[in-house]
């Protein structure tokens, strides 16, 4: 009876297709030695152990995985007993982190069917979202429990074989993202899967199958019930995937930006704001795909800048001075955003520094330009200024001036400041009128 129920829920699961090396051609050089060691050690102790999920998907795509996860028949306590440098983590899903050298390999136990499980091992909320799931089972059951077919493949690095339970290899070749089981229920179990669908489709150049795509727009509101930290982690993965431009466009197309970056829909409705955001995302993609580092604080500062800019102008219109108005705007925007995304405090600090320095670029007198050059965030703030100029928000002259000022020596900088502060003909005429003997000051000079 139970098998019948799951047959209806997930569809019949045939024996896996065993794909040998001559067909998958996964290069051993792309596999982490630590992950290889974990699989070998678990197998030597009599447990099945495979590389699983995104690592297998990336290996089949010819990419070097960013991290390696291992799935095994061993229970968390057994894994912990085998590896001296390891620790059990998590409550929702109990996992083991195994440390080998400088690497940490995440090891999970095969998940099973939870039909008869009690609340101590599995529980859900009123919407069907799984809160706790520590029901263990077989590799076949684990494959059924995974979200998409391209993430349900297992690779044995010892035998160099891929176990494909749901035709994930065929879906990769067809450039198709397909859900395992009923999409409606799978999204209810974990609404983050909707954002993951967008991320995988963008990162791998796939089309979401209509059956998996249809419920996304109607179930997007369920993301409000997901812990903010999980939403933030998934958004970070999307923005730092090297395909952020396509990912954000897909989020918007499916209506998910309302539940993830709620201010993004406002930004993307403004031509200037949309151009700025897309330039920032495109620059991020270029850096990541070139193997360069990216600052998350810079990225979120760019995503939210036009909200800060609007609030800044409103505060000044109420009579507030320049800098107090800017700080009020920054706090206001971060407060609104914190209700949706758990942006870590360390990123919030970087964002505020980048924003605050924008006002200082406009002051090119006295010692202030020299002080700005010495600021730890000058380079990031200057790159941000370049985006503002490139998007059309500011005249490019200001960026050119700072480029020249930062790239020359001390004497040339002093000369630039002297030249910049020298009065023009109109100023000289006003100064002469002000100091003419016997004539009272009109109060119209630049100094008054």
Please, what are the averages of pLDDT over each run of 10 residues along the chain (448 residues)? Answer: 45 76 92 96 98 94 91 96 95 89 95 60 51 76 93 96 96 95 93 95 94 93 87 90 93 81 68 89 95 92 92 95 95 84 85 96 91 95 96 94 94 86 48 40 34
**pLDDT (0 to 100) of residue 373:** 94
Helix (H, G, I), strand (E, B) or coil at 441: coil
Say if CB 420 and CB 364 are below 8 A apart: yes
Non-local CB neighbours of 309 within 8 Å, separated by 6+ positions:
329, 393
**pLDDT score for 338:** 77
**What pLDDT does 343 receive?**
83
- Show the domains of the chain with their CATH numbers: 2-171 (3.30.460.10), 296-425 (1.10.3090.10)
Q: Is 175 left (phi over 0), alpha (psi -120 to 50) or beta?
A: left
Using an 8 Å Cβ cutoff, are 443 and 434 in contact? Answer: no
> Given this model, what pLDDT does residue 112 score?
85
Cα 85 to its chain centre, rounded Å, is 30
CB 49, CB 157: distance < 8 Å: no
- List own/partner pairs for 370-377 with CB under 8 A and 24 or more apart: 370/413, 373/405, 373/406, 377/350, 377/353
Bridging pattern class, strands 86-89 and 95-100: antiparallel
Helices (H) and strands (E) in the chain, counts: 24, 12
Half-sphere exposure of 157 (CA within 13 A, CB side): 27
- d(CA 280, CA 234) in angstroms, rounded, equals 19
pLDDT at position 94 is: 87
The per-residue pLDDT for 180 is: 95
pLDDT of residue 438: 38
pLDDT of residue 3: 43
pLDDT given at position 262: 61
Does the active-site annotation cover 67? yes
Catalytic residue among 58, 133, 142, 147: 147
Residue 119 is among the residues annotated as catalytic for this protein: no
In the block, tokens 């727009």 appear at 217
Catalytic residue among 69, 133, 142, 350: 69
**Which pLDDT score is estimated for 434?**
41
Identify the DSSP state of 16.
P
């Amino acid at each position: 009876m139970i098998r019948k129920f799951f047959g209806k829920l997930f569809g019949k699961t045939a024996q896996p297709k065993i794909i040998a090396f001559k067909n998958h051609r996964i290069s051993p050089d792309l596999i982490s030695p630590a992950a290889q060691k974990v699989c070998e050690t678990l197998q030597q102790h009599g447990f099945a152990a495979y590389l699983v999920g995104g690592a297998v998907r990336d290996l089949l795509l010819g990419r070097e995985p960013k991290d390696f996860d291992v799935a095994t028949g061993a229970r968390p306590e057994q894994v912990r007993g085998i590896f001296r440098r390891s620790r059990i983590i998590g409550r929702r899903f109990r996992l083991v982190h195994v440390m080998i050298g400088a690497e940490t390999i995440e090891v999970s136990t095969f998940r099973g069917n939870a039909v008869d499980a009690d609340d101590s091992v599995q529980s859900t909320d009123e919407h069907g979202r799984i809160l706790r799931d520590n029901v263990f089972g077989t590799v076949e059951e684990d494959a059924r429990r995974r979200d998409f077919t391209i993430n349900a493949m297992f690779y044995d690095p010892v035998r160099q074989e891929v176990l494909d339970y749901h035709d994930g290899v065929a879906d990769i070749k067809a450039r198709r993202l397909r859900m395992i089981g009923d999409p409606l229920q799978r999204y209810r179990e974990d609404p983050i899967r909707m954002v993951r669908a967008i991320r995988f489709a963008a990162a791998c150049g796939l089309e979401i199958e209509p059956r998996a795509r249809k419920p996304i727009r109607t179930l997007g509101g369920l993301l409000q019930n997901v812990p903010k930290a999980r939403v933030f982690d998934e958004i970070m993965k999307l923005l730092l995937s090297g395909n952020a431009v396509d990912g954000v466009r897909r989020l918007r197309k499916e209506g998910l930006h309302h539940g993830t970056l709620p201010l993004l829909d406002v930004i993307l409705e403004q031509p200037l704001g949309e151009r700025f955001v897309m330039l920032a995302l495109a620059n991020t993609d270029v850096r990541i795909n070139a193997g360069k580092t990216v600052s998350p604080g810079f990225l979120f500062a760019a995503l939210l800048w036009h909200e800060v800019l609007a609030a800044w102008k409103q505060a000044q219109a109420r009579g507030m001075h320049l800098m107090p108005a800017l700080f009020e705007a920054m706090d206001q925007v971060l407060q609104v955003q914190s209700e949706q995304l758990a942006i870590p405090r360390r990123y919030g600090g970087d964002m505020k520094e980048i924003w605050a320095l924008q006002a200082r670029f406009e002051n090119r007198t006295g010692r202030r330009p020299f002080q700005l050059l010495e600021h730890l965030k000058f380079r990031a703030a200057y790159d941000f200024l370049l985006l503002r100029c490139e998007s059309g928000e500011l005249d490019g002259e200001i960026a050119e001036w700072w480029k020249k000022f930062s790239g020359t020596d001390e004497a040339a900088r002093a000369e630039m400041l002297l030249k910049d502060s020298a009065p023009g003909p109109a100023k000289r005429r006003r100064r002469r009128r002000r100091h003419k003997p016997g004539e009272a000051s009109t109060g119209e000079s630049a100094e008054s």
